[in-house]
Copies of this chain bind each other. A is one copy, B any other.
């Protein structure tokens, strides 16, 4: 339960706005549709919905009213889905008129309405909705509205009848459009469809969700349902931007800077692409036919929260979350001291870029520019897209060009956390052709990509990636011991084997043994809920694991499994303790070696923490 003092500052601000503007009682109710005069002038609802689906609402946000002209952009989107763009554009232009909402504004020669936000253009648009019968077409329009609102909407019959009885001007427009062959069917039926679409009952909350659906590229953020194909959203917002607020459109874009559409019943939708949608209701209108309180709320919201679309004081921050090399940060594969030194010397030519956020053009451009500037210093490029939330197709193409440029000089580009079916793979497949399999290298995570890159460095310097420790003198824990010391230890070691995949140590088991690898590879892992286990370390020939058994004997804290068939030597705690009385110096030497190995791990971890903290 939330503590009473914890309200959201955004909700508080909206409540304050509501209080402030509820006091305005200027303006008048729309009267050209008689039924609209029945609205209560006090009704006032505000709703703000984010593109991640959070709804803020204040006041009469659930009072129903008719959508009226706000239906126009939504039906325009449906017309774009149902027709070629050419067809739509020849039947309604996209130029603002600067004239009032009911101006006829047809092109004198072609009869084409100037834009789809004036009644003439909207009626033409309604005529473009596909369907075998008027009923089918009406059902499609209603279904579209309902998808946008996230609930089943219905018509307000009283307003529809009132509008149908008095809509002579719109009928006249219908006949004019028929005269110019912009409408090719009996116009009365289309105008009737138009009256219906205007009479759909919505609430401020519905409008907020509908606006957020447009802001969210056509996908309803509450239901996850697609209401409009994403490619048409910019067109719908484009006509709203220049023609949405009647002859107030220029001033609106100038002052408020958020594409919007108003209706004479007192509703407004405003859409901030990628960010939020606003739904407003207050039936008192100004001379332009726009809701007075609604406009004031939008003006104040835009100013108070810097929402003007043209006001982008700074780019949103880098898409490069971090950038480091394999000289600073390494895989979980445990390396010998010599290998560690090799990586410290040559690892700076393996570059890892952790990317984040939306890789839009401008953000991807900066990433690519940074990589191109560093290109001469890079032998292997690792691009981590784990935290990338969007990778649009144009950016996929840029990355593909990058892969090709690196391929020319024989430098691999490794992608990690790539999604199997995404746009990146599609683009790479299309652009790389025959070389797709060879050049588009994907790894599950950075750890594996780093290990692959480190192995490449070590192998190119003659290192042995599968070392075998044929005698105890090769064991890291025996460093510095004399032949005589080793002769003492050898009989204390017990031979054991494990097959690939076999579990050697389980979590929580008693720690009674230290293990040394003669040949093969084992990994320590931590199980993770709902996911692949996390690799903590991978050991190879000559290395020891499970050493804490000799120190504190606490239960095992990780699972250890054989990655390959493995030959092991095992030193039990009992045998180790036996050394104490007779050969304390050997025990001290082994303890020092173990401590040094742990210190090496600590130094690696500390070095990597510094990289991570940067």
Contacts and interface: CB of A to CB of B under 8 A. Distances in A.
A304 B394 contact: yes
A133 interface: no
B253 A217 contact: no
B274 A372 contact: no
Interface in A247-288: 247-251, 253-255, 257, 259, 272-276
Contact of A310 (B93, B233, B318, B610): B233
Nearest to A237: B310
A10 B317 contact: no
Interface residues of A, number: 120
A455 to B, nearest CB: 21
24 contacts: A3-B376, A12-B401, A51-B315, A94-B251, A94-B253, A95-B250, A234-B257, A234-B311, A237-B310, A238-B255, A272-B362, A275-B362, A306-B393, A309-B309, A314-B390, A315-B389, A316-B316, A317-B389, A318-B357, A552-B592, A580-B588, A588-B591, A591-B592, A605-B605
Interface string A6-32: 111110100000000000000000000
A601 B601 CA distance: 10
Nearest to A375: B6
Interface string A77-98: 0000000000000000111111
A358 B315 contact: yes
A459 interface: no
Nearest to A534: B610
Nearest to A1: B376
A608 B610 contact: no
A420 to B, nearest CB: 20
B54 A313 contact: no
A235 B217 contact: no
A601 B580 CA distance: 27
Interface stretch (A138-146, A343-351, A363-371, A469-477): A363-371
Nearest to A447: B613
A356 interface: yes
Interface string A314-329: 1111100100000000
A493 to B, nearest CB: 20
A295 to B, nearest CB: 15
B242 A96 contact: yes
A549 to B, nearest CB: 12
Given A50-B365, A95-B250, A358-B315, A3 B274 contact: no
A551 B592 contact: yes
A95 B251 contact: yes
Nearest to A552: B596
A595 interface: yes
Interface stretch (A402-410, A434-442, A514-522, A566-574): A402-410
Nearest to A218: B313
Contacts of A115: 250
Interface string A597-614: 011011001101110110
